[in-house]
Amino acid sequence: MEFAFILDPLASLKAYKDTSVAMMRALATRGHALFTLEQRDLFWDGRGTRATVRPLTVSDDEHHWFETGAAVVRPLETFSAVLMRKDPPFDMEYVYSTYLLETAEARGARVFNRPRALRDYNEKMAIASFPEFIVPTLVTRDAELLREFIDEHRDVILKPLDGMGGASVFRVREDDPNRNVIVETVGLHGTRTVMAQRFIPEIVDGDKRILLIAGEPVPHALARIPKPGETRGNLAAGGRGVARPLSSRDRQIAQVVGARLWAEGMLVVGLDVIGDYLTEVNVTSPTGFVEITQQTGFDVAGRFADALAEASE
């Protein structure tokens, strides 16, 4: 089979820990052919969506892990599947790429994760589809509503809907003398939509990343444990990743959410769970494959490669 990956520039990927690299290595090990492109290589010209792609060879050498061949132009439907693995930000250029990918789908291309699903599931707002698994939550631009929410729940997390990696995430207590300034800062004085959630004390035990592949959970989660003095477990914010078996509650959340998202064409999803509560649904380019495999021996990338081949037949 032939698979095309839409990625950030290859030289920018940290091969020793990058999930997309692990995916491609697993596919290559199984004898599949790889091609690479960036968002800018996609185009539509009335005859369908095509792309300038380059054949890709990958190795286990962490310093010189890839080689590319000569560029060729191909219609996307000529590949067994196209993998959208461009990292956030989810900006308008990302949205335009999903439009191009959707026109390719109309001509028979298989695209994972499905372009429409990528647009429909904002990674923070997506939890609204699963209210039975979340803590009290408010989404608004209204500063007064946010202040009332803080008064009611006393200890609250505020974050913008377009944030990533723990950026602009604030913990605010009822008696915080800076609460009004924080509300103004996160909401850009009422011009940006903010999510407020009741603080979950179990964050001290880690913000668990549960990986779903074709709707089924990987048996271990990666608990991102905040560094001392932090409330954010994100690895980008200095959190430490520890692989742990899924709890019964983790499995309950994963089974319900996974079945629905796989039905909508999401091959790889990362659920964020703190304690017993779902906090985010990551659909753009979830990570954690390498850390879980290294710590548990479970071949996450191998499971992905097998699931992708089956879905692409």
Domain boundaries, the chain: 2-116, 125-129+202-311, 136-199
Tokens 């003095």: give the residue: 229
User: Which of 50, 114, 159, 208 is an active site residue?
Assistant: 159
What confidence score (pLDDT) does residue 63 get?
86
Active site residue 282: yes
User: Which of 179, 280, 291, 303 is an active site residue?
Assistant: 280
What confidence score (pLDDT) does residue 39 get?
97
Residue 214 region by backbone torsions, left for phi larger than 0, else alpha for psi between -120 and 50, else beta: left
What confidence score (pLDDT) does residue 161 get?
85
What confidence score (pLDDT) does residue 254 get?
98
Question: Sign of the CA dihedral 307, 309, 311, 313?
Answer: negative
Active site residue 272: yes
User: Which of 224, 234, 250, 291 is an active site residue?
Assistant: 224
Q: Which CATH architecture describes the domain 136-199?
A: 2-Layer Sandwich (3.30)
Strand partners, 55: 35
Q: How buried is residue 23: exposed, middle or buried, by Cβ count under 10 Å (0-12/13-18/19+)?
A: buried
| pLDDT per residue as tens, the chain (313 positions) | 999 999 999 999 999 999 999 999 999 999 999 999 999 999 999 999 999 999 999 999 988 999 999 999 999 999 999 999 999 888 999 999 999 999 999 999 999 999 999 999 999 999 999 999 999 999 999 999 999 999 999 999 999 988 776 678 999 999 999 999 999 999 999 999 999 999 999 999 999 999 999 999 999 999 999 877 676 666 666 678 999 999 999 999 999 999 999 999 999 999 999 999 999 999 999 999 999 999 999 999 999 999 999 999 8
Chain centroid to CA 118? 10
Active site residue 280: yes
What confidence score (pLDDT) does residue 228 get?
76
User: Which of 179, 208, 209, 303 is an active site residue?
Assistant: 209
User: Which of 86, 114, 124, 179 is an active site residue?
Assistant: 124
Q: How far apart are CA 73 and CA 69, in angstroms?
A: 13
Q: Note the residue count of the chain.
A: 313
User: Which of 232, 250, 291, 303 is an active site residue?
Assistant: 232
Q: How far apart are CA 181 and CA 147, in angstroms?
A: 11
Highest CATH level, class, for 2-116: alpha beta
What confidence score (pLDDT) does residue 232 get?
66
Active site residue 124: yes
Q: How far apart are CA 72 and CA 69, in angstroms?
A: 9
What confidence score (pLDDT) does residue 9 get?
97
Q: How buried is residue 156: exposed, middle or buried, by Cβ count under 10 Å (0-12/13-18/19+)?
A: buried
What tokens does 293 get?
């495999």
Active site residue 232: yes
- 51's CB contacts (< 8 A; 6+ apart) are 4, 37, 41, 42, 43, 73, 74, 76
Q: Domain 125-129+202-311: give its CATH code.
A: 3.30.470.20
- 109's CB contacts (< 8 A; 6+ apart) are 49, 75, 76, 77, 79, 81, 82, 101
Taking the model in full, what pTM does it have? 0.93
What confidence score (pLDDT) does residue 162 get?
80
Equal fold, 2-116 vs 125-129+202-311: no
User: Is the separation of the CB atoms in 231 and 207 below 8 Å?
Assistant: no
